[in-house]
A and B are shown apart, each in its own frame.
Chain A
Amino acid sequence: VSLFVGVTVLLVLGWVLLADTLVKRVVEGIGTRLVGARVELESADVGLFPAALTLAGLAVTDPDAPMTNAVEVGRAALAVDGGALLGARLVVDDMRVEGVRFGTPRARSGALAPKARKPDAASSGPGLSMPSFDLPDVGDILRDNPLTTVADAEALARDARAARAAWKERVAALPDKEKLEAYRERAKALKDAKGGGLEGLLGAAGAARDLKRDIDRDVDALQSARDDLKADLAEYRSRAKAVADGPAAEARRLADRYAGEGLAGVGAAFLTEAAERWVRTGLAWYHRVEPLVERAARAHGDTRAARPLRAKGVDVRFPEHNPRPDFLVREAAVDVALKGGTVSGTVCDLTPDPEVLGRPLTFAFQGARTADRGAVNVSGTIDRVRPDAPKDTFRLRLGDAPVRDLALSRGGAAPVTLARARADLAVDGSRAGDALDVTLKADLSGARFVVPEAGGQAARALGSALAGVRETTVEADVTGTVDAPKVRVRSDLDRIVADAVRGLATERVKALEADLTAAIREKAEARLADARGDIDALDGDGGVLGERRAELEAVLKDALQGATRKLPF
């Protein structure tokens, strides 16, 4: 028994002496696994009576920048519920976190071994590429776009051909040479008729009247047809002119469109790149934090099996009379040291078992405006009370915050830096299930953008355009899912930058327009020539109708003169 007591005492002494080191190793191990980069702790101090834990010098490496700490914590003091420890639960009633700083430099790299380090999308990115003005090939444009000019030429040729056929039939139905000759015969007979007294005179007058009526009717028919033909000709000639002018107009429209596509979003491009980078980084940290607030679990009726780790088995949870999470930080008071002053806040109900606790994690931080920093107000919830239906919210307000040397576009042809500005920023975000809905609005004043001129002509144009921008508004929406977010950025910088850069493309656009005009004209020309042939033929039909009308009128005149001479009065 004495040996047993001795061993037990040794174990207890070992625990007391080694507990600090053990906790330090556990914190570093779990942190490193969660973050994917080295997490280091200067010291841990475990107290048993009362149960407490103090951590000092916690440094969390930024996995995207291993020579920088994403977060550094000066001191964290935890008051632990000793009674809960007997139930194998770690419940932190009160937690004080002081000296939290972001982005501090590291003396040595915190990267893990290369094989353990996953490539992170947040660190990649091609940088902003300025538009190259490589407009598409004329052949490609003609192939991809149905040409209205050619279609109009084809329709005109088809219609003119049909009109010509219709007029051919109509002209055939009108008085022709044969009928004209018949009228001449009747007029001649009228002139040659010998006088037969009053009866003869009356008969000649009647014949003359009949002849006049017939000729007038045919003259009217010819005139009507000629008028109709004139109208048709006017229409076809107008269409032919439109088709002839079409290639230039259509080429201008297409060239503008492709040039516009090439230049579209030039202004927003570097903002979008920056927004996408920030969203990727934010979501990467969000995913790293998620294991702290939810636990992978599968249900077995009322029981649950959690933490399925290899060679560790699974812990099956059973219904509890008084359910409490295995790990819980009821309230953590956090002081974040920022340039210009401290931002303080609280994090409540941090637990990987929120469905047991029945309350979501909430956080709220505030910092008043100082000379070097704007007012800060951040709050939100991470709700995993129903693990199958995550429901998170986030709200950030920055008032009159100074911005300095903010890299908007890191690489590419034109790296853009916001050298200085004051910003009013409002971000409202939510997650329901996997769907993201985030809106951002930033009003910048006193802005100064910097674009190195080494980027070439386009970069100089961009820099020149941004040089005059002092105030601007940027709005962004993030939709999609947490795994595939979609970022859309709008800004009045779009127009400013696009106008400046568009000037550089003018010569190429004009050359494209000329090539397109020639190509479209060539395609439409054959159809237009066919149509013009038919239109000219119709014009010829109009001449024939005019001649016939004149001849008919001459016959009528001649006949009427002959008849008049015979009258005795």
Chain B
Amino acid sequence: VLKAAAKLLAVLGSGTAPGQIALGAVLGMVAGLTPLGSAHNLLVLLLLLVLRANVPAFVVVWGVTTGLAYLLDPAFHAVGLALLTAGPLEGLWTALYNVPVLRLTRFNNSIVLGSLVVSLVLVAPAYAAVVWGVRRYRDRVLARVRSLKVVQALRASRLFRAVRAAAEGMEGP
């Protein structure tokens, strides 16, 4: 994750589209907040690769949110259990429960459902926030940082070039 963080910093300074970075971040958030073994994470992985989302952003956010998920488990459990036991939704859950393949998704688990719903609710605002944040970083912070002599010296070093090359390789197919 640390290596990916370094690469992410490089990506932030590159020409990668903010939307790609944000997409990688929100997919990482969904995968991180929900239990790793959940079947829907295969779909997340597919989207990550098909939509050319930024992989370092995915890895970094996944690492951070996985740790966060342990702390949020009680909240996810409460949300999931409330949804699963909500009277108006019982017909929906019962119908889904009777589709054999859907049971493989473990949607009837309180933490799986709670974390998935919370993370899906957060997808849109998180996406917008990341796009806004990347643009703001590039407009205000990056220009100032690059003007520093120390940074200019660093950017001229071999190490920086090597890291940048690696980061560009991880931006997606």
A contact set with B: CB distance below 8 Å: 1-4, 7-8, 86-89, 300-303, 305, 311-321
Closest approach, in angstroms, between the C-beta of B24 and any C-beta of chain A? Answer: 14
- Top 10 A-B residue pairs of the complex, sorted by shortest distance between their CB atoms: A313-B111, A87-B100, A313-B110, A318-B97, A88-B103, A316-B84, A4-B49, A318-B94, A313-B109, A300-B85
What is the CA–CA distance of A302 and B85 in the complex, to the nearest angstrom? 10
Contact present for A319 and B108 (CB under 8 Å): no
Interface-located stretch among B12-20, B70-78, B138-146, B158-166 = B70-78
Place the interface of chain B in its size category.
20 to 34
Closest approach, in angstroms, between the C-beta of B44 and any C-beta of chain A? Answer: 11
For A312, the chain B residues whose CB sits under 8 A away are: 109, 111
Q: Is B98 an interface residue (CB 8 A)?
A: yes
Q: Is B126 an interface residue (CB 8 A)?
A: no
Given contacts A87-B100, A305-B81, A311-B70, whether A316 and B46 have CB atoms under 8 Å apart is no
For B114, the chain A residues whose CB sits under 8 A away are: 313
Closest approach, in angstroms, between the C-beta of A307 and any C-beta of chain B? Answer: 9
For B90, the chain A residues whose CB sits under 8 A away are: 301-303, 318
Given contacts A87-B103, A311-B70, A314-B110, whether A321 and B98 have CB atoms under 8 Å apart is yes
Contact present for B77 and A314 (CB under 8 Å): yes
Contact present for A311 and B73 (CB under 8 Å): yes
What is the CA–CA distance of A112 and B68 in the complex, to the nearest angstrom? 33
- What residue in chain A is nearest B47 (Cβ atoms)? A4
Closest approach, in angstroms, between the C-beta of A501 and any C-beta of chain B? Answer: 64
Q: Name 15 interchain pairs, CB-CB below 8 A, sorted by A.
A: A4-B46, A7-B49, A303-B90, A305-B85, A311-B111, A312-B109, A313-B110, A313-B112, A314-B110, A316-B81, A316-B93, A317-B97, A318-B90, A318-B98, A320-B97
Q: Which of A7, A8, A315 has the most CB of B within 10 A?
A: A315
For A4, the chain B residues whose CB sits under 8 A away are: 45-46, 49-50
For B173, the chain A residues whose CB sits under 8 A away are: 2-3
Q: DSSP majority for the B interface?
A: helix
What is the CA–CA distance of A3 and B58 in the complex, to the nearest angstrom? 16
- What residue in chain B is nearest A321 (Cβ atoms)? B98
C-beta contact mask, B79-121 vs A, less than 8 Å → 1, else 0? 0110011000010011001101101101011111010000000
Closest approach, in angstroms, between the C-beta of B22 and any C-beta of chain A? Answer: 20
What is the CA–CA distance of A275 and B81 in the complex, to the nearest angstrom? 47
Contact present for B110 and A316 (CB under 8 Å): yes
- What residue in chain B is nearest A316 (Cβ atoms)? B84
Contact present for B100 and A303 (CB under 8 Å): no
Candidates A3, A87, A302, A313; contact of B49 at CB < 8 Å: A3
Q: Which of A1, A7, A88 has the most CB of B within 10 A?
A: A88
For B84, the chain A residues whose CB sits under 8 A away are: 303, 305, 316
What is the CA–CA distance of A500 and B138 in the complex, to the nearest angstrom? 101
Contact present for B93 and A318 (CB under 8 Å): yes
For A89, the chain B residues whose CB sits under 8 A away are: 103
